[in-house]
């Protein structure tokens, strides 16, 4: 079976498959076709792909493969009827992509729908692998934009106090941000609406910011639940008070399929100290800071707000390697005796049954649509598309 890898759109430096994944794909029966230059921006050459067993070819040949693996979903006009595509489709924010696939009888496998609590799917979990890198890079960006050192230093000229970081949200990205800031020598405070996160925050060196009346606002999939406006206000007020004298504030709060919640209102920014830096990790979905401008680094009242949209893409070589591992583990699991097989009993593909620990109501798994229809377990998505 032919598997195609193409150059991603302008501005995306990652590539979906890296050379070291080729032997594993070949071993289970995939013939890998890589568009010439697809890995250049992430420092993987055509020669490396060929040396590992891939065929370097034209974009047209790669696009015509039986299964296409990408990061961003290609324009539907580039796809062929009956094709399988594995990518990050973000279907709840872009239902038109699902509709186009249905109309063209394209099987859409959306990697951002991996059931993260299913143990077998953890090695395929795109969200975790890329969020980890994003949390790391957010701290480095914050450190690069402040005009002071991070760790405590004792010198003959005097003692330098450590920088103070505040991390808003402590999921995968947040925990990595806490750990990275701590390794740099900062004093780190962190918040989360999930009370269970306190132990995790402290385990990587952070100090938990507790909000009065906090409960464990976590859904079955491990994501934060939507909160009431009143409690959001209380969280914002409490954490922003702690952040008033912080040097770097990193925001990580993201709700699956919804706009990013505002965790730093505009009026809070004016209370932050001069020279502070806000790194907003969710600029691509509206931003956690009310003053964030997507894709921009801006100043408000001497506070720098970093709104870079694709943080993993700024570490393209590592990010590509991890995503390639996720994709390779996923697609090779579907190759049975040399045949690409999508079983409706596969919990990774279609989600678990009602009542299972892994079930997310109306969400299902990675398989979004095939044979011209949305999978029955995707009831929430059906409503969005219709």
Annotated catalytic sites, by residue?
A: 116, 122, 125, 128, 223
For the chain, the three-class secondary structure string (H helix, E strand, C coil) is CEEEECCCCCCCCCCCCCHHHHHHHHHCCCEEEEECCCCHHHCCCHHHHHHCCCEEECHHHHHCCCEEECCCCCCHHHCCCCCEEEECCCCCCCHHHHHHHHHCCCEEEEHHHCCCCCHHHHHHCHHHHHHHHHHHHHHHHHHHHCCCCCCCEEECCEEECCCEEEEECCCHHHHHHHHHHHHHCCEEEEECCECCHHHHHHHCCCEECCCCCCCECECCCCCECCCCHHHHHHHHHHHHHHHHHCCEEEECCCCCCCCCCCCECHHHHCCCCCCCEEEECCHHHCCCECCCCCCCEEEECCEEEECCCCCHHHHHHHHHHHHHHHHHHHHHHCEECCEECCCCCCHHHHCCCCCCCCCCCCCCCCEEEECCEECCCCHHHHHHHC
Rg (CA), the chain: 22
């Amino acid at each position: 079976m032919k598997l195609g890898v193409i150059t991603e759109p302008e501005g995306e430096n990652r590539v979906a498959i890296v050379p070291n994944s080729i032997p594993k794909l070949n071993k289970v029966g995939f013939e890998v076709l890589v568009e010439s230059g697809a890995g250049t921006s992430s420092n993987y050459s055509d020669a490396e792909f060929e040396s590992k067993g891939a065929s370097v070819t034209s974009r047209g040949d790669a696009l015509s493969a039986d299964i296409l693996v990408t990061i961003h979903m290609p324009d539907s006009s580039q796809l062929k009827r009956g094709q399988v595509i594995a990518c990050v489709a973000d279907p709840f924010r872009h239902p038109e992509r699902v509709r186009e696939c249905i109309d063209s009888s394209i099987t859409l496998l959306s990697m951002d729908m991996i059931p993260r609590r299913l143990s077998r799917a953890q090695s395929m979990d795109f969200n975790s692998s890329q969020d980890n890198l994003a949390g790391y890079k957010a701290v480095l960006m914050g450190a690069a934009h402040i005009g002071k050192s991070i760790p405590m230093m004792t010198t003959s000229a005097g003692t330098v106090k450590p920088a103070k970081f505040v991390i808003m949200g402590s999921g995968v990205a947040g925990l990595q941000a806490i750990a990275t800031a701590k390794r740099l020598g900062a004093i780190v405070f962190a918040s989360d609406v999930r009370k269970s996160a306190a132990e995790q925050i402290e385990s990587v060196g952070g100090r938990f910011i507790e909000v009065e009346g906090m409960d464990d606002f976590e859904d079955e999939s491990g994501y934060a639940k939507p909160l009431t406006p009143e409690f959001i206000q209380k969280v914002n007020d409490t954490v922003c008070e702690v952040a008033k004298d912080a040097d770097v504030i990193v925001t990580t709060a993201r709700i699956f399929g919804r706009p990013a919640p505002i965790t730093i209102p505009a009026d809070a920014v004016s209370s932050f100290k001069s020279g502070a830096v806000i790194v907003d990790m969710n600029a691509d979905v509206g931003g956690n800071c009310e003053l964030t401008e997507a894709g921009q680094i801006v100043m408000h009242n001497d506070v720098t707000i970093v709104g870079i949209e694709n943080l993993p893409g700024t570490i393209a070589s590592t990010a590509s390697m991890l995503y390639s591992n996720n994709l390779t583990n996923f697609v090779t699991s579907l190759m049975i005796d040399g045949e690409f097989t999508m079983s409706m009993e596969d919990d990774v593909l279609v989600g678990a049954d009602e009542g299972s620990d892994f079930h997310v109501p109306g969400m299902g798994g990675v398989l979004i649509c095939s044979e011209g229809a949305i999978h029955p377990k995707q009831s929430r998505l059906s409503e969005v598309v219709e």
